[in-house]
């Protein structure tokens, strides 16, 4: 009943082209931002910030990056973790070697270096597609980690290859508490998500989707294939690079190259698939599902065993969590192969008509 667009008329194209043309959606977004920026910092505990919220936001950003490449431009990549590693290590080097550089500029440099690496490893996409491209991007994963391990300059000659992220300071304010790091991450993620949405609803996004859906037709109507594919790789890797820098500075603190193994690339790919291929919202839903559900399952099992005073072994608890998690993934993929974002969209369409079926 509440979610109706009746009476909301749009009389100009500008109104029709808003990101959220329906008033209720705009109100909901404002509420969500208010909760994120004001309510959460007041109520959340240290544990919430550093174990739940910050990794959720960072993985949302990485998923957003991969979604631009895989979901919108249709190019499969398994190099996400490598792009994140480039972002993290180059942000570290920028901060280390350029005196007086603002931390946000270092993050941007990290992102730009990742974009450059992304363009290089995007070159095979001009010739190969699908699974073969995925395997080609796998090379990026191994080559980047190998380089970081072998070139001492990148880790500032640290013997173990581990770097310690410098402290984050913006305009004299030091971001050292989990809450302040959370707010910094949230701000960056929110702005970059807005930019991604704007890109995807304008010419660049349409060119990406055209290449994804029918590349021959895209070329015939004048979309340059090479530029479009490489731009997709560059933008996607930039997002992943910034996510990697945030992962190092706001989450891990001390970073070893092995923090960016292939496993992370797969996790981000699963987030894209479960959240919704080709959806900005889906990136957040997918990242939320994969980072938060295991923790809630853990809390749930602990709660049950405490409440009913059942003695459950630790091994059993962790195995139960894995089983439930796997089951949930299969359940959601069968119910809606297009991801959580599509489920949400169907729910909204139903809600607009409720209580009538049509």
Partner 1 sequence: MSVALHQHPRAHPVGEVLLSVENVSLSFGGVNALTDVSFDVREHEVRAIIGPNGAGKSSMLNVLNGVYHPQKGTIRLRGKSFHDMVSHEAAAMGIARTFQNIALFKGMTVLDNILTGRNLKMRSNFLQQALWWGPARREELVHRHAVEEVIDFLEIQHVRKTPVGRLPYGLQKRVELARALAAEPKILLLDEPMAGMNLEEKQDMCRFILDVNDHYGTTIVLIEHDMGVVMDISDRVVVLDYGRKIGDGTPEEIRGNQAVIDAYLGVTH
Neighbours of 275 (CB within 10 A): 30
Given candidates 206, 292, 320, 336, which one binds partner 1 under the rule CB under 8 A? 206
The answer to the question of residue 196 lying near partner 1 (CB under 8 A) is: yes
Shortest Cβ 243–partner 1 spacing (Å): 17
Residue 187 as a binder of partner 1 (CB under 8 A): the answer is no
Using the rule CB under 8 A, is 220 a contact of partner 1?
Answer: yes
**Phi, psi angles (nearest 5°) of residue 274:** -75, -35
Burial 92-126 (b: 16+ CB within 10 A, else e): bbbbeeeeeeebeebbbbbbbbbbebbbebbebbe
Q: Which of 28, 31, 98, 195 binds partner 1 (CB under 8 A)?
A: 195
Helix axes 80-97 and 54-66, enclosed angle (nearest 10): 110
Restricting to residues 267-286, which ones interact with partner 1 according to CB under 8 A?
A: 278
**Is residue 309 at the binding interface for partner 1, with CB under 8 A as the rule?**
no
Strand ranges in 71-207 using DSSP code E only, listed in sequence order = 163-164, 168-170, 173-175
Give the HSE-up count for residue 42: Cα atoms under 13 Å, Cβ half-sphere: 6
User: CB of 217: closest distance to partner 1 in angstroms?
Assistant: 4
Tell whether residue 235 is a contact of partner 1 (CB under 8 A): yes
If DSSP codes are grouped into helix, strand and coil, which group holds residue 279? Answer: coil
328 binding partner 1? (CB under 8 A): no
Among 214, 316, 323, 353, binds partner 1 (CB under 8 A): 214
The site that binds partner 1 (CB under 8 A) totals a number of residues, namely 30
| 351 near partner 1, rule: CB under 8 A | no
Q: How many CA atoms lie within 13 A of 203 on its CB side?
A: 4
Q: Specify the residue, 314 or 358, whose C-beta has the smaller distance to partner 1.
A: 358
**Interaction site with partner 1 (CB under 8 A):** 13-14, 17, 195-196, 198-199, 202-204, 206-207, 209-210, 212-214, 216-225, 231, 235, 278
């Amino acid at each position: 009943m509440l979610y109706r667009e009746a009476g909301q008329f749009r009389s100009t194209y500008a109104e029709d082209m808003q990101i959220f043309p329906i008033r209720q959606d705009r109100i909901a977004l404002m509420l969500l931002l208010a909760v994120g920026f004001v309510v959460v910092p007041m109520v959340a505990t240290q544990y919430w910030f550093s174990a739940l919220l910050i990794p959720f936001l960072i993985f949302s950003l990485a998923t957003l990056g991969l979604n631009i490449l895989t979901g919108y431009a249709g190019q499969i990549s398994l190099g996400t973790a490598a792009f994140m590693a480039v972002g993290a290590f180059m942000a570290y080097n920028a901060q280390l070697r350029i005196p007086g550089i603002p931390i946000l500029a270092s993050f941007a440099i990290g992102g730009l270096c990742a974009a450059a690496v992304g363009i290089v490893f995007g070159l095979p996409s001009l010739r190969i597609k699908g699974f073969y491209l995925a395997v080609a991007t796998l090379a990026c994963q191994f080559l980047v980690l190998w380089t970081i391990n072998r070139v001492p300059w990148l880790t500032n000659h640290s013997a173990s290859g581990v770097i310690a992220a410098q402290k984050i300071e913006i305009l004299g304010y030091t971001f050292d508490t989990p809450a302040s790091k959370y707010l910094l991450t949230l701000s960056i993620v929110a702005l970059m998500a807005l930019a991604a949405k704007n890109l995807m609803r304008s010419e660049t996004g349409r060119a990406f989707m055209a290449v994804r859906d029918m590349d021959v037709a895209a070329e015939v109507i004048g979309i340059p294939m090479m530029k479009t594919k490489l731009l997709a790789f560059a933008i996607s890797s930039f997002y992943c690079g910034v996510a990697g820098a945030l992962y190092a500075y706001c989450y891990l603190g001390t970073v070893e190259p092995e923090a960016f193994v292939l496993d992370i690339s797969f996790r981000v790919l699963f987030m894209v698939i479960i959240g919704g291929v080709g959806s900005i919202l889906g990136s957040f839903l997918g990242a939320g599902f994969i980072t938060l559900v295991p923790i809630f399952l853990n809390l749930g099992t602990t709660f049950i065993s405490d409440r009913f005073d059942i003695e459950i072994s630790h091994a059993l608890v962790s195995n139960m969590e894995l089983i439930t998690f796997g089951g949930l993934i299969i359940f959601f993929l069968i119910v809606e192969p297009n991801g959580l974002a599509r489920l949400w969209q169907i729910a909204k369409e139903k809600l607009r008509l409720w209580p009538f079926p049509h």
